[in-house]
Structure formats: structure tokens, C-alpha cells
A and B are shown apart, each in its own frame.
Chain A
């Protein structure tokens, strides 16, 4: 943990990453702390400075891996220490953090990522890289153009839908809603994506309904 990180303006920490909007500049927001070929766990550099559910992120090393934020959690770094309720009367959350500056050091925000694609030698492959990302690789939010390029084709959607991380339906819906904005015709993009999903979820009308309602 970066002990010397400035915590001077904690309220800006909370909005450290602009929510739902893909950044125009890449600056890593976190670091991989757990990795497999299909799943990554990243720790945010700053408490609560996490991308939104469904955001597309990239990890950069020899090759670029693309993954989708499937779950964001904030909890005590030490599993044996549980946060206790703190507020006294009319306290705001900020009051509590100001009164107990150590709290933000004892909590960490973690992001579960589902790997969907990778890029090697400048070529985009919409399937898993044969080797997992390395631990401590930096993670950053994908740029607008990258999101559009990746979502030109959606064959990797089934990976998100069948994943068991977080709430897959919300992840898929959030991912598509956010990605749609990068396309010239967002409505058409969503409909096409919906049709993809309908094919994958044939036989599960309830889930299909639920998922599509989240997208619309």
C-alpha cells in the first residue's frame, strides 16, 4: 500500500474516476492483485476511486488485456478487522472519514474483472489471451475509441452472461449501456446487442426479459 499517498482532499477521492464515461486520457486507477486467464482482481490506488460497473478496462504489459468491471467492493484490508458503525448524530460520511483519517488506509476498493479480449501485436482478439495478466500490472479505463472498436462485434457477450462474478445481468446491461454511447447509433447498437443476448438466452425468457429491461 502506498503509505505516502496524499489523502489531503478525500472528497475528491470519491469521484476520482468519472463515472460511466470513458476517459480520454489513460491513467491507471489500480493494480492487479489476483489474476487468472478468465478473471482479474484489481485494487484501486485510492479508496473508492473505482470505475463503474460494466466499464471496460485494460491492463497493459506485453499485451493488452481487456476486461469488464463485474463487481466493485470496498472492505477492510485485514479480514479479521471489521469496520464498526461510527456515525454520531448528524455526521456525514465525510465527517467520519475526517475524524478517523486512518479508516481510508484500512479499507481498500477492489474490482473484479472478467477478461473478454486481448490485443497482441496491435491486433484485437475477442477471446481470452493464452497467458494471464501479471500481478501488479496497472489497470486503466479504456478510451472511447477502444470501447467502440471492441464492441464492433459482440461474440464475447456470452462470457459476461455466463460469468458468476457479481450480478452478470447488471454487468452486461451496464456494459452495453456505456458502450452504446461510443457508437454513432446507440439505439441500433443496443438492439443488435439485445438480439445477441436473445440468442444466448434462448430458453430462459425470464432472465432475457429481466436483462433486456435493464438495457432499455
Chain B
């Protein structure tokens, strides 16, 4: 996945809190936030958030039940399956006259219970054909080359689509969950001025289509689809607390507390810089999850074709993780409970991180030497085909090989 700038900014801010404020200050703020959480007035919040409904951005979550609610996990079923995918990519455009890239998606399918089994594999795909390298709108002839955040999104699509393939092969009634790494919200594509056709192609015709495939296969089954975010730097719930608790006026534009530089002007009640995971670490005991929140995001609103994205926080023993799901999962209480219980179980088996995700990642990673081999392979093939592929980089390294 490409870098999620929003969460990056929040992380930096939290880092600033860590660095600038003494530990005591931070503890105090987390304490305040925790009190705010318990004193949270759902009615008031719904009012305020409805008021600002007309605003351009709504980055406070949808809260349906009191955020201090706590759920214990069910015991995992006797037999179950966890299928995960993760991807990595190699971009080789910088050194080659010919541009191309490779996406390698790793998959792990782990079966537990009476017949334990594991299937691990990876599917590498090279994108080199002209039509592979761009996203184009046939009607207008506009093109968007696949690189940067678009490539990241393309990879996320590949990850989910391979899970859809896995799900289609599913023939048993074994309870299963499908897990991807990172967020289900493709925030990376927001705010870079990408044309709609790019978002449509990647999200509507890619990401959502694959998720819907999975949904279709999952009908009448004990089933779940989710993404797992380790060390989540989100502050959605904290923002919601701010909306109802901060003494400073909320800036109309982004509902943010004005007093972000609390070191210069400390505020008794200010909870800025506190992350969701900080308060849920206090709230949740190992295995427990929070209530389910809804993501309020224009991307989801505009491009997810009606599928909402929801999330909860869960104490996996060593940390608070954030689990995101399509709404059709969280709307089904048994699916939700399955996701909760199996993620807790996965983290237990995986020393704090879902095993299936870790293995998928291991399958996906392309090592440095593989990366080099891949570049060389591409060069060789191109060279054979008669095109002079030597780049300046390559030529230089050739020269340097003298001893």
C-alpha cells in the first residue's frame, strides 16, 4: 500500500507529543481522553455531527453505540480457515529504457482444527504491455500512467482480487475469514487530483468488485472479510471525543481543535495528539474489541458503491489493532464475531500479529537479490529481442567492473 499521508501526519504529531511533552503530560492527556470516552454523550455527538453534515469533509466516524462498549471474543470454532494476501511490487522504470513493473502477491491459506494444513504461494505478475502500464478512459482517450500512489492502489486491488479467486475455489463450509494488510479505505488516491476514471477503474471496477465477489461467495456461510492494521495511528474516535469535549472552538472547516500546540498553551482538557489506540489500550482487556464505528470518507462515499467501511479496535495482547471491514461483514453479527475471534486467535498464534498475514507477507516480499535478478532478467530478454536497453546506470556499472 502506498503511504497513508493522513495517518502519517497524525503519527508525526503523536511523535511530537512524545518528544516535546514530558511523559507525564502525555499520560495526563490520555487520561483525559479516557475520561472523555466514558463521559461521551452519544446524543450530543449525533446532533453535532449531523449539524456539520453539510460540511465538505467529515472525518469523525459514524458512531452507532456508545464507544466505551466492550465485547469479549467468542471461542474460535473447532475447524476454521484464515486466508490472507499481501503484495509487493518492483518498479524498474528508472534504469530501463522500457518501463515495466512487477506485482508479487503472496497468499497464505491456513487451516486449523482436525486437519491442519497450510498453503503458501505467491503470484508474480509482470506488467509491461502498453495497456498494462496505463489506465485509460476510452471515451476521452485520457490516460493515467500507473506509478506512485496509483501503483500502490493497483497492488491493493491485486491483493483483494486474489482473495476473491481463493474464495471462489472454496467448497467447504469451514468457517473462514479473509484478511488483507492495511486499510480498506483507499485514501492514497484522495487529494492528488486523479481523474474519476482512475478511481472508477481501481476502486469500483477493481477493489469493490472483488470484495463483492467475495461477498457473493460468502452467502450463507460462516464467513468474514477484514483488514488488519497494526499500530494504528488513527485518531477517529479521539476526534469524536474532541467534537463533544474540547473547550476551544471547533474550526468549521475540519472540526479540529485550534489549540494544537499545547506546549505553549496548555489546556487542561485538551486531548489533542492522543491516538485511538491509547484510549482503547486502557479500555480493552486482551481479546476484547471495541464497538463498531463507521468510516466517514468521501472516497467511500463516492466510489464504494454503497459498501460502507466499518472498524473496531481490538486488544490482541501486545497491542491495540484496528480491524476494518466492509459493512456487510459488520452488519452480520455472526460474521463480526467470527472476525473478532479469529483475529484474536491469529494474533495469539502469531505473537501479536496475525500469522496468516505474516506468511502472506513473507511470500510477497521480493528480496534485494531477487529484485536485482529480476531487473537483469528483463534486461536480458530485451537485449535478446534486439533493443538496446543499456541505461546510463547499467553502462556505468559495467565500466566500474574493471579491476
Task: Tell me the minimal C-beta distance from B45 to chain A in angstroms.
Answer: 43
One of B113-121, B235-243, B260-268, B329-337 contacting the partner:
B113-121
- Is A3 in the interface zone, CB < 8 Å from B? yes
Task: Tell me the minimal C-beta distance from A27 to chain B in angstroms.
Answer: 22
Interfacial chain B residues near A81, Cβ < 8 Å: 362
Nearest neighbor of B359 in chain A, beta-carbon distance? A102
List A residues 79-109 near B (Cβ within 8 Å).
81, 97-106
**B118 contacts A105, C-beta separation under 8 Å:** yes
Chain A 1-37, CB-CB to B under 8 Å as 1, else 0, gives 1011011101000000000000000000000000000
- Is B112 in the interface zone, CB < 8 Å from A? yes
Interfacial chain A residues near B359, Cβ < 8 Å: 102, 106
List B residues 154-208 near A (Cβ within 8 Å).
none
List A residues 94-143 near B (Cβ within 8 Å).
97-106
List B residues 347-381 near A (Cβ within 8 Å).
349, 355, 359, 362
Nearest neighbor of B351 in chain A, beta-carbon distance? A84
Interfacial chain A residues near B307, Cβ < 8 Å: none
B108's partner among A4, A78, A102, A104 (CB-CB below 8 A) is A102
Nearest neighbor of B117 in chain A, beta-carbon distance? A7
Residue with the highest number of chain B CB atoms closer than 10 Å, among A6, A101, A104, A106: A101
Interfacial chain A residues near B121, Cβ < 8 Å: 3
**A4 contacts B119, C-beta separation under 8 Å:** yes
Interfacial chain A residues near B97, Cβ < 8 Å: none
**A9 CA to B120 CA, complexed, in Å:** 18
Known A78-B362, A81-B362; judge A100-B349 contact (CB<8 A): yes
Interface residues on B, range: 10 to 19
Nearest neighbor of A80 in chain B, beta-carbon distance? B367
Task: Tell me the minimal C-beta distance from A79 to chain B in angstroms.
Answer: 10
- Is B134 in the interface zone, CB < 8 Å from A? no
**B115 contacts A104, C-beta separation under 8 Å:** no
**A102 contacts B118, C-beta separation under 8 Å:** yes
**A102 CA to B110 CA, complexed, in Å:** 7
Nearest neighbor of B111 in chain A, beta-carbon distance? A101
Task: Tell me the minimal C-beta distance from B85 to chain A in angstroms.
Answer: 14
**A102 contacts B355, C-beta separation under 8 Å:** yes
Task: Tell me the minimal C-beta distance from B23 to chain A in angstroms.
Answer: 32
Name 30 interchain pairs, CB-CB below 8 A, sorted by A: A1-B120, A3-B121, A4-B119, A7-B116, A7-B117, A7-B118, A8-B115, A8-B117, A78-B362, A81-B362, A97-B116, A99-B112, A99-B349, A100-B349, A101-B110, A101-B111, A101-B116, A101-B117, A101-B118, A102-B108, A102-B118, A102-B120, A102-B355, A103-B118, A104-B118, A105-B118, A105-B119, A105-B120, A106-B120, A106-B362
Residues of A within 8 A of B (CB): 1, 3-4, 6-8, 10, 78, 81, 97-106
- Sort A-B residue pairs by CB-CB distance and give the 4 closest, nearest first: A101-B116, A102-B118, A101-B118, A7-B117
With A81-B362, A101-B111, A105-B119 given, can you name 7 additional A-B contacts, CB distance below 8 Å?
Answer: A3-B120, A3-B121, A78-B362, A98-B112, A98-B116, A101-B117, A104-B118
